[in-house]
Structure 1
Amino acid sequence: MNSPDLLDQFAAVDSAAVSDALDRLGLPPGIGGVRPVWGPAAIVGFAVTVGLEPADDRPAGPHIATTAVESADGESVIVVDNQGRTDVSCWGGILSLGAARRGVRGVVADGVCRDVAEARELGFPVFARGAVPATARGRLRQRSAGETVRLGGLAVAPGDVILADETGIVVVPRDRAADVVRLAAAIVARERTIADEIRAGAPLSEAMHDARLAGDLGDSR
């Protein structure tokens, strides 16, 4: 399956269906608490990663996340690991502008952002744990770029599939992505059938009994 087809298939499902598929395959089912900061949004793309840490006496190095933005493209979602800190912004308006101009699909930050209005004006999706005006300058430094990072306890490797929506964030290892999206699509189809039956008057308890919800969804290989 080529990259555009894979992302299109993930775009046709949501984080809940992907989470259920990950559960069935024994993989971490995703996280909550990282939400779109300026309006409804859903994004899916391949992870481009950057890890941050508190600033110290060492030379500052590149401005945080600029290397990630410059290596990203129209299939990318930038993942910023700021270890869940909420006292200092790890993403701002200039970064949103640079990423938007490269066609990046959005950013997911385990931390908080600033310049929310600028991201909204650009139509650039930012998922974070909230917003704060405090600058990263003098407070954060870039620890890594293009390496495995953590997102709310989940490991994210470069190239993993990231799906973020209003419910939460799921991380799909790239080598399991085809299996996961096939299973997620089957879950969505089954739940639509159940919903249609409820709309047609079937009793709720009959339509969504546990055995049916956990029923055979076919071979996910």
Structure 2
Amino acid sequence: MSNTSVLDRFAALDSAAVSDALDRLGLASGVGGIRPVWGPAAVVGFAVTVGLEPRTQGPAEAHIATTAVETADDQSVIVVDNQGRTDVSCWGGILSLGAARRGVRGVVADGVCRDVAEARELGFPVFSRGSIPTTARGRLQQCSTGEPVTVAGLTVKQGDVVVADETGLVVVPRGRAEQVAEIATIILARERAIADEVRAGTPVSQAMHDARLAGAMEPVR
């Protein structure tokens, strides 16, 4: 399956359905607390990873995340590991502008961001733990790009499938993407069928019972 087809399949899903599929396979089922900062948003893309650390003494280097922005493309979601820090921004308006110009689908940061209005004006999805005006300059430095990072306890590798929406964040190992998408599609179809029954008047206790929700993963017809 092509990269575009993989992303198209996940774009038709949501984080809850993907989480349920990951659960069935014994994989990490996602996290909450990292949310869109300027309005409803959902992103699906292949991870381009950035690791950050506190600034140390030495000559100034390229600004954080600029390497990732310049290597990302229109199938990418940039994933920034700032170890959950909420006292300093790890993503800002010029980074949003640069990423948007390359067609990047969004950014997911385990930390906080700034320049929220600029991201909103660009229509660029930013997911983080919140916002703060405090600059990264003199406080943070980049320690890796393209290497595995950790976001709220989830390991994210370069090229993994990232799904983020208003409910939360899920990360699908690239080698399991087709399998997870297949199971999640079946789960979503089943839940939509249950919702249709409830709308038609079926009691919730009858339509939504555990045996049905945990049933065999038969193909969707």
Query: 2:84 aligns to what SS in structure 1?
Result: strand
Q: Is the counterpart of residue 87 in structure 1 residue 82 in structure 2?
A: no
Q: Partner residue of 2:124?
A: 124
What stretches of structure 1 move > 4 A for 4+ residues in a row? none
Provide TM-score, normalisation by structure 1: 0.98
Unaligned 5+ segments in structure 2 are none
Query: 2:121 aligns to what SS in structure 1?
Result: helix
CA drift at 1:87: 0.3
Q: Deviations over 1:90-125 (max 9, x none)?
A: 000000000000000000000000000000000000
Query: 2:86 aligns to what SS in structure 1?
Result: strand
Q: How does 1:144-159 map to 2 (within 5 A)?
A: 144-159=144-159
Aligned residue pair count: 220
Q: Is the counterpart of residue 15 in structure 1 residue 11 in structure 2?
A: no
Q: What amino acid does structure 2 have at the position aligned with 1:203? A: P
Q: Partner residue of 1:134?
A: 134
RMSD: 1.1
Query: 1:162 aligns to what SS in structure 2?
Result: strand
Provide TM-score, normalisation by structure 2: 0.98
Q: Residues of 2 paired with 1:61 and 1:177: CA distance?
A: 36
Q: Partner residue of 2:143?
A: 143
Q: Is the counterpart of residue 47 in structure 1 residue 47 in structure 2?
A: yes
Q: Is the counterpart of residue 75 in structure 1 residue 106 in structure 2?
A: no
Q: Residues of 2 paired with 1:175 and 1:22: CA distance?
A: 13
Q: What amino acid does structure 1 have at the position aligned with 2:73? A: D
Query: 2:205 aligns to what SS in structure 1?
Result: helix
Q: Partner residue of 2:30?
A: 30
CA drift at 1:88: 0.1
Kept in 2, the 8 Å contact 1:10–1:44? The answer is yes
CA drift at 1:213: 0.6
Kept in 2, the 8 Å contact 1:60–1:141? The answer is no
Q: Residues of 1 paired with 2:60 and 2:14: CA distance?
A: 39
Q: Partner residue of 1:98?
A: 98
Q: Partner residue of 1:195?
A: 195
CA drift at 1:176: 0.1
Q: Deviations over 1:20-52 (max 9, x none)?
A: 000000000000000000000000000000000
Q: Residues of 1 paired with 2:180 and 2:60: CA distance?
A: 40
Q: Partner residue of 2:66?
A: 66
Q: What amino acid does structure 2 have at the position aligned with 1:96? A: S
Kept in 2, the 8 Å contact 1:161–1:174? The answer is yes
CA drift at 1:158: 0.2
Query: 2:88 aligns to what SS in structure 1?
Result: strand
Q: Residues of 1 paired with 2:25 and 2:109: CA distance?
A: 26
Kept in 2, the 8 Å contact 1:161–1:173? The answer is yes
Kept in 2, the 8 Å contact 1:160–1:173? The answer is yes
Q: What amino acid does structure 2 have at the position aligned with 1:99? A: A
Query: 1:167 aligns to what SS in structure 2?
Result: coil
